[in-house]
Chains A and B, each alone.
Chain A
Amino acid sequence: MGARTGRLTVPSTWRSRLKAAKDIYEEIYFAPYRSQIYRSYREQRDLFLIMTFSDMLGVPNPAAFYALELYPDLIEEFHQWHLRMGMDQAPEGGFRCC
């Protein structure tokens, strides 16, 4: 996509000027939308992690044992989560990643 580089190039023709203007407009339009999507994406990922490994937070989970098979695929996500939550180390007694 040319949206981010549009501002940096020097438009030489009428046509490319118009395109640059369109890119800037799109950028202004999309920026808040984009961060909103990212926030929802992150929230849903966190919610999924909490539901899958709820037993580690002390909330009973009937399928806790089966959640183990998801563990190798989710550990990286979990690592990012606890860093984002301001914990340098994984919380004690639960899901460990570092």
Chain B
Amino acid sequence: MGNAAFDRKVLFFGGKGGVGKTTLAASVAIVSAERGARTLLVSTDPAHSTSDVLGLPLGNEPSEVLSNLWAVEIDPAQEVDRYIEQVKARIADSTPPRLAAEVERQIDIARVTPGADESAMFDRFTKILAELGSTYDRIVFDTAPLGHTLRLLSLPELMGTWIDGLIVRRKKVNVLGRMWRSVSGAAQGSSTDDDPVLSALQDRRQRFAAARDVMTDADQTGFVFVVIPEHLPVSETERSVEVLDRNSIPVSGVVVNQCYEGADRERRERESGYLERLRRRFSTHPIIELPRLEAEPHGLDGLRQLIATIPGDAFEG
């Protein structure tokens, strides 16, 4: 992969609300699809606006928007429900019948536990990433405002450590269980080598590790900051890049959106000051400046106006 901002198989568009992330993510996804890559545009922002930008209804499952382009708006509530149904489906096999009713009740309570939405969203996120290379050639994430996204992106590390600890414990339980069965002479035949708890933990660790491998691979993945040349978005970007660095998530570029090109000299100078700050902070990254459009682009035709302003070398360097 070259040094072009959008020349990555996995792209995250992130930034403050209202800077144009969704519009830009949709535009890049359209160009990607038109250049022949099977592209999936994913919105992870619970307050979805991708369907508004495309002018098409979207749901929790990918729908085809154009040839080679699919789009999905992940709905955390539906993901929680899906997960809970899966767990319930397993109750019949593994739970003693006298406990089944109580277990079902308890699982329903878990629907509203703190963190359920976030965990379910993250679960879906890892499943979508796993489709890279098979179903899709490129996945473009239109993310929630930065705070949420940075949290989402740091989850594999956090959860991985926790699950590693549980796996170590569970193995110890199994070793002692085997010792106990051998000295007590009990049920030699019933092997616990296929402990369902251990294999569930290992599956999950494997999936988190795979997601993390993709997310930290600078050849495959790039985080694109979208900013407008104003104080708050620029300051937030400067701070956020440190969080990404800490989590080893590669940044592939910065888009400075809605740059003013009018006659007000004072405003132009103020904006170029912010641009200067960004150039200093991102000295090794491509910075793409896009003009402020007359009308807010939406619908496929509106997006084409925006696409026309994106320099071609942002896609292939």
Contacts and interface: CB of A to CB of B under 8 A. Distances in A.
A30 B197 contact: no
A1 B113 CA distance: 49
B66 interface: no
B90 interface: yes
A95 B102 CA distance: 10
B162 A68 contact: no
Nearest to B118: A65
B197 A74 contact: yes
B201 interface: yes
B87 A63 contact: no
B312 to A, nearest CB: 43
Nearest to B109: A96
A44 B172 contact: yes
Given A65-B113, A75-B99, A95-B106, A41 B177 contact: yes
B119 interface: yes
Interface in B260-293: none
A38 to B, nearest CB: 6
Q: How large is the interface on A (under 10, 10 to 19, 20 to 34, 35 or more residues)?
A: 35 or more
B165 interface: yes
A62 B87 contact: no
B300 interface: no
Interface in B76-107: 83-84, 86-87, 90-91, 93-96, 98-99, 102-103, 105-107
Nearest to B80: A65
Nearest to B95: A72
B139 to A, nearest CB: 23
A65 B120 contact: yes
Q: How large is the interface on B (under 10, 10 to 19, 20 to 34, 35 or more residues)?
A: 35 or more
B180 A97 contact: no
A95 B99 CA distance: 12
Interface string B115-149: 11001100100000000000000000000000000
Contacts of B103: 71-72, 75, 96-97
Contacts of B243: none
Contact of B107 (A34, A38, A68, A98): A68
Contacts of B204: 66
A87 interface: no
A41 B95 contact: no
A25 interface: no
B183 A34 contact: yes
Contact of B87 (A55, A71, A98): A71
B158 A62 contact: yes
Counting from the closest, the 9 A-B pairs by CB-CB distance are A65-B119, A41-B176, A72-B94, A1-B185, A44-B173, A41-B180, A48-B169, A34-B183, A72-B95
Interface of B: 83-84, 86-87, 90-91, 93-96, 98-99, 102-103, 105-107, 110, 113, 115-116, 119-120, 123, 158-159, 162-163, 165-166, 169-170, 172-173, 176-177, 179-180, 183-185, 196-197, 200-201, 204
Interface of A: 1, 3-4, 30, 33-34, 37-38, 40-41, 44-45, 47-48, 51-52, 55, 61-66, 68-76, 79, 95-98
Given A69-B200, A73-B197, A96-B105, 13 more contacts: A1-B185, A48-B169, A51-B166, A62-B162, A68-B110, A71-B106, A71-B107, A72-B93, A73-B196, A75-B99, A76-B99, A79-B99, A98-B98
